A and B are shown apart, each in its own frame.
Chain A
Amino acid sequence: MTLINIKINGQELQVEEGITILQAAKKIDIEIPTLCYMNLKDLGITHNPGGCRICVVEVAGRRNLAPSCVTKVMEGMDIKTHTMRVLNARKTVMELILSDHPFECLTCAKNGNCDLQTLAQTLGVREIHYQGEQSSYKSDSSPAIIRDMDKCIMCRRCETMCNEVQTCGVLSGINRGFTAVVAPAFEQDLIQSPCTFCGQCVAVCPTGALTEQDHTNKVIRALADPNKTVIVQTAPAVRVALGEEFGLKPGTIVTGKMVAALRRLGFDRVFDTDFAADLTIMEEGTELLSRLTKFLAGDKDVKLPLLTSCCPAWVKFFEHNFPELKDIPSTAKSPQQMFGAIAKTYMADKLGVKREDLIVVSVMPCLAKKYESQREEFAVDGNPDVDYSISTRELAHLIKQSIGDFKHLPDEDFDKLMGQSTGAGVIFGNTGGVIEAACRTAYEIYTKKKLEKVEFEQLRGFEGVRSAVVDFDGLKLNIGIAHGLGNARKLLEAIQKGESEFHAIEIMACPGGCIGGGGQPLHHGDINILKARAAAIYREDEGKAIRKSHENPEIVKLYEEFLGQPMSEKAHHLLHTEYFDKKKKIYIEK
């Protein structure tokens, strides 16, 4: 590493050769404003197209201003970050961007949480000196994501997430000049494209151009209907992130307050998706053992590796991109859908309400869950197993709208019968968590021995693709883990080529797993927030009295009273699903 000498705002410093002015300034705590720039360095994601020109600085001897996010430092460089010329240029750039941006801030879904709005305030824009035509595009409303491209500023962060990180290839810059915009091929709607609805584009959009399909009003209407019994389930990753929306430190566990808030919102029962996660482990773990046993007995037709199937974006990803592998993933439904199926049968009976009078709401860190809940196969005679899926952000809005105060709520417990969960259910929220939960149960069932240490540390971590060997009393299981769909693609291509040695693979579409989901409070590029949430998930697991799914008394009771055995006919009917080939076919005339 070669060090070079530079000067920033008169301060002399030594920095490594090859870094940008922006990075160098950060080292001495000089904040240069940015807009299109995005750096999620622990995930290996940098997006610096140098397009917006907000981060310009003055470099002595250089005729024009330099965009600091793409200009590398050079020996002897003399940089000034906030001269009159720089401040004026930034303001002009901002005014030009705003001159083609709708003035709908007060009614925009991103109001108060918008990078563009914050920056306009920071730069002190009080007037827009440029007026002209404003671009107008058709809006696109899918089951999970709304695209309002009139608000797009062409930072193209979404494109990086969609193409480089997730390798979905749905979004691309199209057209040129004034009509340039980010869109799917042929400007089709997302629902016609191979979009997985992972929501990572929404998570990084600096404006209101990409937002979630908001179901809060539908939930309020259901809660107000005296003829409906409304129950709610909350996913594991929600409880470690919801607090951020109320000013609590990232990684604060707010399970008890969240339950209290949901009760005050008027839900008749507050249940836990973690319960359904435990149920998923019973089914998926049994399926894994059944495939393994056949494999070890020499059955050549058995499909391995088993791929986890709880992530709906991942499911849609392989349906579009790897349909030929569609009989490899576990047939187990996701926890959200298992919860819905059990709620509208077992729980409806217990509560004495008819299926159509029971409304199941889910709170998810995810946008793909909205799409999943609307898949045709998850409905009975048109009545969906899960009626409305709302994101962590939407729940925060509901609480702010109806209760206001969150921090001072008491801690309350989930309701009985579908509210008890184990540490294994909780860790579903982290990358590596589902497969760790499966190992805790599968180990004990396979070896008939008690697990001394429930933590499988080798399965944890943040690298995009991980592999580990888990020892089942002499039987060595090769486990693969991927988070981020681009990483998943690498493992799938290896399977296609017959190069995969894995017995089981866990895949989560979002970086970090569900804690980094597209429906979570916006992290604005700060990866430490994801790490704090991940640590909180493991803390919540450690605090649980029961940490293995098969020991959950409510799960035991559910099988005794209702389902019989894991993979029984009834369990198969209610808790398993099938996958479809969604690859676009090119029609050729014979």
Chain B
Amino acid sequence: MSSIHIKLKEQDCQDIKEICETFNNDQGELINVLHRTQEHFGYLPAEIQEVIADNLNMSLAKVYGVVTFYSFFTMTPKGQHPISICTGTACYVRGAEKVLEEVKKELKINVGETTPDGKFSLSCLRCVGACGLAPVLMIGDKTYGRVSPEDVKTILGEFK
């Protein structure tokens, strides 16, 4: 379970309520509601899931079950600059693992985590369709190709 807790404001609850209403408070639309809510808040902390469960009149355990089933949903906030490292076959064989290790070392976080200052978060993905540039690293919308572990420090430096 995530240890991140937030304090919801009246307006936040209102926003969630409106998202749920867009989907007619239908329990069958839970995944869509979660998508829209994550778009709005950036992540889905426990408190937000509680408000969603309340609005859709369904059990909190079920909401949490869906959030933890799909890897797209996250209970920790993404950093200001989300880092994605491709570990698809091509990138993997060309050393993505070493790049990943270097990023972890540099930022002192694991995959799925965010730096305490909220600047960077780290995730892995499978293939961005740029296998010719393998290994590939993305920060936000910016793509870096043929990255070596030695490049990591410089690349991260651009965002510090």
Contact = CB atoms under 8 A, between A and B. Distances in A.
A188 B46 CA distance: 12
B60 A185 contact: yes
A18 B50 CA distance: 40
Interface string B29-65: 0000000000000000011011100100011111111
A187 interface: yes
B72 to A, nearest CB: 12
Given A586-B54, A587-B7, A589-B7, A170 B59 contact: yes
A186 B61 CA distance: 7
Contacts of B46: 185-186
Contacts of B1: 186-188
B69 A586 contact: no
Contacts of A163: 59, 62
A590 interface: yes
A172 B59 contact: yes
Contacts, number: 64
Nearest to B48: A586
B8 A184 contact: no
Contacts of A186: 1-2, 46, 64
Contacts of A185: 46, 49, 59-61, 63-64
A408 interface: no
Contacts of B13: 586, 588
B59 A169 contact: yes
A288 to B, nearest CB: 32
A512 to B, nearest CB: 24
B68 interface: yes
Nearest to B67: A174
A107 interface: no
Interface residue tally on A, bucketed by range: 20 to 34
A369 to B, nearest CB: 24
Contact of B62 (A172, A586, A587, A588): A172
B9 interface: yes
A576 B56 CA distance: 37
A497 interface: no
Interface in A552-590: 584, 586-590
Contacts of B10: 588-590
A174 B7 contact: no
A397 B68 CA distance: 40
A586 B13 CA distance: 10
Contacts of A102: none
A171 interface: yes
A183 interface: yes
A26 B72 CA distance: 44
Interface string A161-182: 0010000111111111000000
A169 B60 contact: yes
Interface in B91-146: none
A168 B60 CA distance: 10
Nearest to B5: A587
Contact of A169 (B8, B61, B68): B61
* Residue from B2, B50, B51 having most chain A Cβ neighbours under 10 A: B50
A588 B8 contact: yes
Interface string B5-17: 0011110010000
B55 to A, nearest CB: 11
Contacts of B63: 185
A184 B11 CA distance: 28
Chain A CB count within 10 A is highest, among B1, B49, B64, for: B64
Interface in A322-374: none
B65 to A, nearest CB: 4
A171 B61 contact: yes
A175 B70 CA distance: 8
A399 B59 CA distance: 41
A169 B58 contact: yes
B69 A176 contact: yes
B58 A586 contact: no
12 contacts: A172-B65, A173-B65, A176-B68, A183-B61, A186-B2, A188-B1, A584-B60, A586-B47, A587-B7, A587-B8, A589-B7, A590-B10
Instruction: Please provide the 3 A-B residue pairs with the shortest distance between their CB atoms, ordered closest to farther.
Output: A169-B59, A172-B61, A172-B65
Given A186-B2, A586-B8, A587-B8, 13 more contacts: A169-B58, A169-B60, A169-B62, A171-B61, A172-B62, A172-B64, A183-B61, A185-B61, A193-B61, A584-B60, A586-B47, A587-B7, A588-B7
